[in-house]
Structure 1
Amino acid sequence: MSVRAGLHRIIQPASKLWKHWPVTTNTTKYTNIITTPVCVRVCLSCQLSTQAKSQEVQNQTADKESTLPESLPPPSKEFLDSLNDSQMKHYKDVVNMYERHWRFQDIKVPAVLTDTRWKKLLGSGKSKTGKILTLMYVKEVKKQRRKENKEHKERKEDVIHKVSLPSERSRKTFTILKAYNAMEYGPELVYDLGFTSNALPFHVFREEARIKKQLQDTIHANAKGRFPFHLVFCNVNESYRSMLEEISGDIPITITERGYLDMFDRRRLVYLSPDSKEDLETFDHNDVYIVGCITDLETKPLTKEKAQRHGIRHTKFPIRKYLGNTTTCLLTLNQVCDVLYDLKDTGDWRTALRHVPVRFQKREKNSISS
């Protein structure tokens, strides 16, 4: 009992002393500081900034949704009519995937989807369609920027050491004039488009895209040469005609539905075929060389069989004779034109075969090292 009484006496005065602590007696010095309103102001400013940020995000989202089209630009009616059932199903799946999913994933699309671009889209799988659309959009933006930069440069005079160089328009006009001159005086180089593809429906568009790119490189690279070929495209249907008119631009070329047998003497015709056993020794200006418009992925001897069926000569480039045991003798359409052009100008096969890709010569290097 005495212990409890003693503790009570000690604790009770301490609690009474706490009420009269010296710090509390000097509270009058800090009466001007009010903390609660400051906290309220900070919270209000944070709330306003949060609301402003959320409003900005909503505006950006609304802008994106407004800029993104609700559906993909449709192709032409002729293109849709040319699709079979499986291709039409693939086309509808791509459109539905964009409207339901890709449009909300910020996948940007070009302003115009031509029939060529639709062929590329339908020639790939659904998993790659979104990436291809984005790449098309990026290419369109880059093309627009190059056009703007080109217009900006054309305003300035191209001067080096106070010597004015010919403008790009003048160089382009000179290239076109050389192509016109080749149509009258240059040697003919015939491209035969009379082949039908046996590939799958999804691969047909891919092969057409490869042929289009290779022929475009052929036409423009040939026109830039000093003495270009007279390019003749025979056995051309309507779809190939529109493609050739698109890729040639202002460069003159010959496009005809007739066959090479109706245009040239059979004795002058020489079909270039990688499956032939005869090597081409020299370039003969009196001969007319024919190139079959099939991709380098085709492994069947279609060109050799066609030459034998029509009773004309066939030959091949002596690639293995000068470059050794290469992995393949198949070249693209533009590479064939480049090889013939250098052979015509120089007469040297080693100079002409520099257009053969280096990757085809790996086997030769391995055999030499071993």
Structure 2
Amino acid sequence: MWSFRAMARSLRIHRRTNRKFSSSSRLSMERRGIYYPNEKIKSMDDFCKYASPEEKAHLVMIQAEYVKICKSNIANMPELTDQEWLIHMNYDSRKGREKHLRLLQVKKDIQETKKQKRQPQTEPQYNPSNFFQELFWMSEKKIIQNRVAQATMLEDPILVDLGYADMLYYNEIIDVARHLFLSIGDINRSALHHTPTFNVIFCNVKPSVEENEILKTMRRLLTEDCSMSKLPVTLTEKSYLDLFPKRDLVYLSPDAEQYYHPAEGIPVIAGLIHKTTKDKLALHKAYKEKIKVRRLPIDLIDKLTVPRLPINHIIQYVAALRFTRDLEIARKALPKRIISGPAAKGKKISKIL
């Protein structure tokens, strides 16, 4: 029995370390570490020059699938541009590709409605309210920048480990990037609130800030006037082990047995979301690096409707728990839709906090 488990584990490790791309349905489930567009292939012309025969065959298969989807009248599928085709090839399953096509259709419908609402430009009229509105926005940005700068010097940080980019599927990378994007808004709101401003550090960015797949996807969600350098977070390629000693770190994982206490140390949140595997990557990584592993004490009070919380909700909960040291108040940081009801009776909360 033990040898069978060891063989299965070695097979998973082999698949994770030896990723390759294929147009066959059997090999398409293996993970890839390179997604389009990249430094070498930025357009379809580059794809025709540098892509392998297997990748070109995969593109032909996806194009034939696209024609079948259009004929099946599932939805009003849009015509894809070259850049959209490159992104479309990153999805490994048909369901993921159909979802991507629907999202593109929604975006194009929104663009068309905006064009229809536009009226011919007339002579500009002076509106005094626009002046005060712009003045308010400028002062709001200055307040956020000052509060975030103060938080980096005074508040204890919350670390997010982005070293899992090469272990995730493309749809999982999109989910992680979306959660991080939502956490940016939470940080800005905390700077304008009476509670302490969040001090969040995106660490262990591999292979670099420019080449990390999660941050690449996150850049597409940002507006033009909000670049990566203007984000209210700290981006670093260093590991959390280089920033803080081991005794001061606590890795958060839902698979841990003991509960997290804010006095134990600086929390580290794994930047991953697994939909297709049940490997306990965060737990194994913390054990390998000999770091304390804890789980959030949410289930002491409430039952959750989801097995794993998104990253932005974890940041909100941890920040509220560290500021108030009260489970009842910290639970209000979570949305009501993920709470199904009270937890089982008999658990002693006093020994946790």
Please confirm whether the aligned pair reaches a TM-score higher than 0.5, indicating the same fold: yes
Answer whether contact 1:273 1:315 (CA < 8 A) is retained: yes
- Seen in structure 2, the aligned counterparts of structure 1 residues 255 and 157 have a Cα distance that, compared at 3 Å, is same
Q: Does 1:192 align with 2:147?
A: no
- 1:208 aligns with 173
- Seen in structure 2, the aligned counterparts of structure 1 residues 75 and 301 have a Cα distance that, compared at 3 Å, is closer
Mapped partners of 2:150, 2:117: distance in 1: 31
Residues 274-293 of structure 1 mapped to structure 2, 5 A cutoff: 274-281=254-261, 283-284=262-263, 287-293=265-271
- 1:26 aligns with none
- 1:311 aligns with 290
Q: Give the AA of the match of 1:254.
A: T
- Seen in structure 2, the aligned counterparts of structure 1 residues 156 and 189 have a Cα distance that, compared at 3 Å, is farther
- 1:349 aligns with 327
Residues 142-291 of structure 1 mapped to structure 2, 5 A cutoff: 156-158=127-129, 167-195=136-164, 204-226=169-191, 227-237=196-206, 238-240=211-213, 241-243=215-217, 247=222, 249=227, 250-281=230-261, 283-284=262-263, 287-291=265-269
Q: Give the AA of the match of 1:78.
A: I
Question: What is the CA-CA distance between 1:182 and the residue it aligns to?
Answer: 2.1
Q: Which of 322, 327, 330 is the matching residue for 2:308?
A: 330
Q: Secondary structure at the match of 2:140?
A: helix
- Seen in structure 2, the aligned counterparts of structure 1 residues 321 and 234 have a Cα distance that, compared at 3 Å, is same
Q: Give the AA of the match of 2:272.
A: I
Mapped partners of 2:57, 2:285: distance in 1: 36
Q: TM-score, normalised by structure 2?
A: 0.62
More helix by percentage: 1
Mapped partners of 2:233, 2:330: distance in 1: 24
Answer whether contact 2:301 2:342 (CA < 8 A) is retained: no
Mapped partners of 1:110, 1:205: distance in 2: 19
Q: Secondary structure at the match of 1:225?
A: helix
- Seen in structure 2, the aligned counterparts of structure 1 residues 147 and 169 have a Cα distance that, compared at 3 Å, is farther
Q: List gaps (5 residues or longer) in structure 1.
A: 1-73, 149-153
Q: List gaps (5 residues or longer) in structure 2.
A: 1-35, 120-124, 346-353
Q: Give the AA of the match of 1:182.
A: A
Question: What is the CA-CA distance between 1:269 and the residue it aligns to?
Answer: 0.6
- 1:59 aligns with none
Answer whether contact 2:158 2:267 (CA < 8 A) is retained: yes
Q: Give the AA of the match of 2:41.
A: E
Mapped partners of 1:294, 1:194: distance in 2: 9
- 1:32 aligns with none
Answer whether contact 1:327 1:363 (CA < 8 A) is retained: no
Q: Which of 95, 102, 106 is the matching residue for 1:135?
A: 106
Answer whether contact 2:164 2:272 (CA < 8 A) is retained: yes
Report the more deviating stretch, 137-146 or 214-223: 137-146
When Rg is computed on C-alpha atoms for both structures, the one with the higher figure is 1
Answer whether contact 1:110 1:137 (CA < 8 A) is retained: no
- Seen in structure 2, the aligned counterparts of structure 1 residues 320 and 132 have a Cα distance that, compared at 3 Å, is closer
- Seen in structure 2, the aligned counterparts of structure 1 residues 278 and 108 have a Cα distance that, compared at 3 Å, is same
Mapped partners of 1:180, 1:208: distance in 2: 29
Q: Secondary structure at the match of 1:78?
A: coil
Answer whether contact 2:256 2:295 (CA < 8 A) is retained: yes
Question: What is the CA-CA distance between 1:349 and the residue it aligns to?
Answer: 1.3
Answer whether contact 2:164 2:271 (CA < 8 A) is retained: yes
Answer whether contact 2:200 2:234 (CA < 8 A) is retained: yes
Answer whether contact 1:272 1:314 (CA < 8 A) is retained: yes
Answer whether contact 2:147 2:197 (CA < 8 A) is retained: yes
- Seen in structure 2, the aligned counterparts of structure 1 residues 128 and 189 have a Cα distance that, compared at 3 Å, is closer
- Seen in structure 2, the aligned counterparts of structure 1 residues 115 and 175 have a Cα distance that, compared at 3 Å, is farther
Answer whether contact 2:254 2:295 (CA < 8 A) is retained: yes
Mapped partners of 2:329, 2:82: distance in 1: 43
Question: What is the CA-CA distance between 1:315 and the residue it aligns to?
Answer: 1.0
Mapped partners of 2:137, 2:329: distance in 1: 30
- Seen in structure 2, the aligned counterparts of structure 1 residues 164 and 172 have a Cα distance that, compared at 3 Å, is closer
Q: Secondary structure at the match of 2:273?
A: coil
Mapped partners of 2:320, 2:133: distance in 1: 31
Question: What is the CA-CA distance between 1:228 and the residue it aligns to?
Answer: 2.1
- The number of residue pairs the alignment matches comes to 278
Q: Deviations over 1:299-358 (max 9, x none)?
A: 3322122111111111111122111x5455521100001101222333221221234454
Mapped partners of 2:176, 2:118: distance in 1: 26
Residues 35-54 of structure 1 mapped to structure 2, 5 A cutoff: none
Report the more deviating stretch, 348-357 or 84-93: 84-93
Question: What is the CA-CA distance between 1:190 and the residue it aligns to?
Answer: 0.8
Q: Give the AA of the match of 1:225.
A: S
- Seen in structure 2, the aligned counterparts of structure 1 residues 147 and 329 have a Cα distance that, compared at 3 Å, is farther
